[in-house]
Copies of this chain bind each other. A is one copy, B any other.
Amino acid sequence: MPYRPTAKTQARRTERRSALLKTALAIVTCEGFQALTINRLAKEAGIATGTIYKYFESKAQLCSEVFRLATEKEVEKVRAASFPEQPAHCRKRLANAVTTFAERAILGGRLAYALIAEPVNPMVEQERLTYRRAYADIFEQLIEEAVTKKQFPPQTAHVSAAALVGILSEALVAPLARGIPITDHNNLVKAIKQFCLRAVAG
C-alpha cells in the first residue's frame, strides 16, 4: 500500500499555504479585497485555479484568514501600548495606544483602507467586525481600569470604547476614502490624540 503523505510533503503543503496567504495579502495591500479573486491569486501564485481549493475551503475562508493575517500584528501593537510592561498612567497609555493605531494606519495606506473601510462582501465584513471588536475590547479594559483608579472620569466604558474605534476609523480613513492623501501626518495624529484624550480622560 504505497504512498502516504510524509513529513516532507506536509511541510511543503504548509509552506505553500502560507505562501498563498502572503500572495493574497500582497494583492489586498496593493489593490484591496475587491481585487482578490481566486483566478488572480492562482495566476500570481503560479498554480491552477482548482488548487486553491485544496488549501482553502472557500473564498470566504481565504478572505477571513487574509484579514486576520493583516490584522493580528496591528492589534497586538495596540494592546502592547495599552498594557505596557512598565507601569504608566492610564492617560499616557491611552495616548500611546491611539497614536500607535493612527501612525500605523497612515503608514499602511491602502491596506488600512481595505481593513477599515473598503466595501467588502459580508463574509469579510464579519471578520472586520471581529477586528473592531478586538480594539474595542482593549480600549474598554483600559478605560475600566482608569475609571476604577479615578484617573478618568466616570463613563460607560463600552460606549467609550466603541466610540474610540469609531473616531479612529472615521478620522483616519474618511480622507483616504475620499481619495485625499493625508499630507500632514503629524498634525493629524496629534489632533486625533487630543480629541481622544479630551473625550475619555477629560
Contact = CB atoms under 8 A, between A and B. Distances in A.
A170 B121 contact: no
Interface string A153-179: 101100110110111111100110110
Tally of this chain's copies: 2
Q: Is the interface of A mostly helix, strand, loop or mixed?
A: helix
A202 interface: yes
A192 B174 contact: no
B192 A202 contact: no
A14 interface: no
Contacts of A192: 159, 163
A37 interface: no
Contact of A121 (B119, B136, B163, B174): B119
Nearest to A168: B166
A143 to B, nearest CB: 11
A132 interface: yes
A163 B155 contact: no
